[in-house]
Structure 1
């Protein structure tokens, strides 16, 4: 299914680092510097700007002038939004592997090298690493320590929650034909992760290789961010997952049972009655659904969350714990 890429120490595979920008002038210099300082030398940096209205584009032009052999710039004719911008930019990559980049993080010098070393066989289609929150000038490892870092191909672990952030991932370019188009309002990294588990295996690199900057205009964490303005109902998200051609039969059956339960919770009222059928389903599959975080008493946590979400409306929202 996927093209075999021969690893050669003298000529390693080309990696396309794909960065999408929009009004990122404050941190863009630091991020580009960290990418250009990667120990893995055979890479290109593709930057797609989504009609920035600040000095981002002029800064990008400067960087391209300094490194014309490394940096390729594109500017959209109209503002696409971060999801469609990534979709478009990914298709401009020419490397055998594609690494996604935010505009405001900091990559450690060994990021690409460590990720590429994890592609040990052709069944591995996506690799991701750990990242640590950069809050102001301080690194906060606390939240990262609570996460189980995903490896394998158990797709259903992604049905309620995404485990892989875009800035942590690198994947084979041959995956692109299966991930585009990215559905409207779907988080691009969640979609890529789910499709990847349907087609092969995912490997986690256990090292912290990205300083993930948290700030007021961040696309994910800001209360005004685009990612917060339009959101699929969880059951609508699962409908999209259920239509993936490569979805395994057992996962398709799983979704065929789950989706009607969530749809009932979404269309009844803002405060639906306790749904016993949904409760039994959540409790039965609680390790897959709620097992992405480390808990002192996992069984108790699973029970509490099964109760919580069995009486909650999913209208216009996903879930969080």
Structure 2
């Protein structure tokens, strides 16, 4: 079975050599490594080219002429992969030597599984262990039991638990997962896992097969913090609310695709999951309406119009369901 690795890079010169070396040292080396570089401004591409000369497997470097972002770069790399199994790779992690062999063995022994993922060891930028596992943040032992009992989709509809840096999936599902949506809170790995879970089982390996590096320059990580929108000035609040409305609107499209996929299945009973997705869509539509109203209330509307908008949101309980209740309403009124 041919095994491909899809990697996305951007200004990763500081760490990428470690990851490339760890891929080369796999007990089961990949049949190809496809890298999509998102117009790096450092030495990332030169490091990749030097590695490709000596690598014991083909290395294909696709260089974006403009920045398209990590999601679309991963999408591009996945499209170019020719293997029957595709593993995703971040540029700044380090793989344990038996990672690919373990992922492949899991899929070979589980013909009904469309995707497999593992735990990871969280390390600092110098690869010093922080004494914690990745799953300790979002994949409890109880949730693992749900996966084992065939309820992976139910859990994934509630929250993402699959990290792209630890996953591999069957290439036969490319058409199902592509194109990968952008501009939503669900990033590429969560989308891939969710869509494959609508048609296949998901397997997992409890051992950490990746050293998951945490450092200030990474795009995603475990310790990010969000700003409070309610503390911004009126103009900034309007922009934030408009962006939130657009984001939730894109997410309704995303879950609309999930719903369509579930409704197309006649071989299994997905009534429970369909109801879950329909409830999710109702919630998202509520969020869209609420943040559009809050944006309008902060857009310099006359006092009477603003009061009417705020009163409507209070009467529909959307301030309490989508924001911080009366506190948010008062701040909109005084903006």
TM range (shorter): 0.7 to 0.9
Distance 1:209 1:238 in 2: 34
Which of 95, 107, 117 is the matching residue for 1:128?
117
Question: Segments of 4+ in structure 1 off by > 6 A?
Answer: 229-232
Assess, with a 3 A threshold, how the Cα gap between structure 1 residues 143 and 71 changes in structure 2: closer, same or farther: closer
2:161 maps to 163
1:260 maps to 282
Q: Retained in 1: the 8 A contact 2:4–2:31?
A: yes
Distance 1:311 1:185 in 2: 19
Question: CA offsets, 1:226-273, max 9 Å, x none?
Answer: xxx987745742541232342244322222234223432443366965
Q: Retained in 2: the 8 A contact 1:128–1:164?
A: yes
After superposition, where does 1:155-304 map in structure 2 within 5 Å? 155-186=153-184, 187-221=187-221, 233=247, 236-244=250-258, 245-247=260-262, 248-268=270-290
Structure number having the greater helix percentage = 2
Scaled by the length of structure 1, what TM-score is found?
0.74
Q: Does 1:48 align with 2:46?
A: no
Assess, with a 3 A threshold, how the Cα gap between structure 1 residues 71 and 274 changes in structure 2: closer, same or farther: farther
Assess, with a 3 A threshold, how the Cα gap between structure 1 residues 55 and 258 changes in structure 2: closer, same or farther: closer
Structure 1 residue matching 2:155: 3-state secondary structure: helix
Q: CA RMSD in A?
A: 2.9
Distance 2:54 2:280 in 1: 53
The structure number with the bigger radius of gyration is 2
Scaled by the length of structure 2, what TM-score is found?
0.71
Q: CA deviation at 1:161?
A: 1.9
Distance 2:34 2:172 in 1: 18
Q: CA deviation at 1:145?
A: 2.7
Figure out how many residues of one structure are paired with residues of the other and give that number.
267
Question: Which sections of structure 1, spanning at least 5 residues, go unmatched?
Answer: 1-12, 279-308, 314-321
Q: Does 1:31 align with 2:22?
A: no
Q: Does 1:145 align with 2:136?
A: yes
Structure 2 residue matching 1:51: 3-state secondary structure: coil
Distance 2:278 2:257 in 1: 11
Q: CA deviation at 1:223?
A: 6.2
Which of 89, 103, 108 is the matching residue for 2:96?
108
Q: CA deviation at 1:310?
A: 4.0
Q: Retained in 1: the 8 A contact 2:157–2:276?
A: no
Q: Retained in 1: the 8 A contact 2:23–2:29?
A: no
1:4 maps to none
1:78 maps to 66
Q: CA deviation at 1:73?
A: 1.6
Question: Which sections of structure 2, spanning at least 5 residues, go unmatched?
Answer: 226-239, 263-269, 295-309, 325-335
Distance 1:129 1:61 in 2: 29
Q: Retained in 1: the 8 A contact 2:152–2:202?
A: no
2:82 maps to 94
Q: Retained in 2: the 8 A contact 1:235–1:259?
A: no
Structure 1 residue matching 2:261: 3-state secondary structure: coil
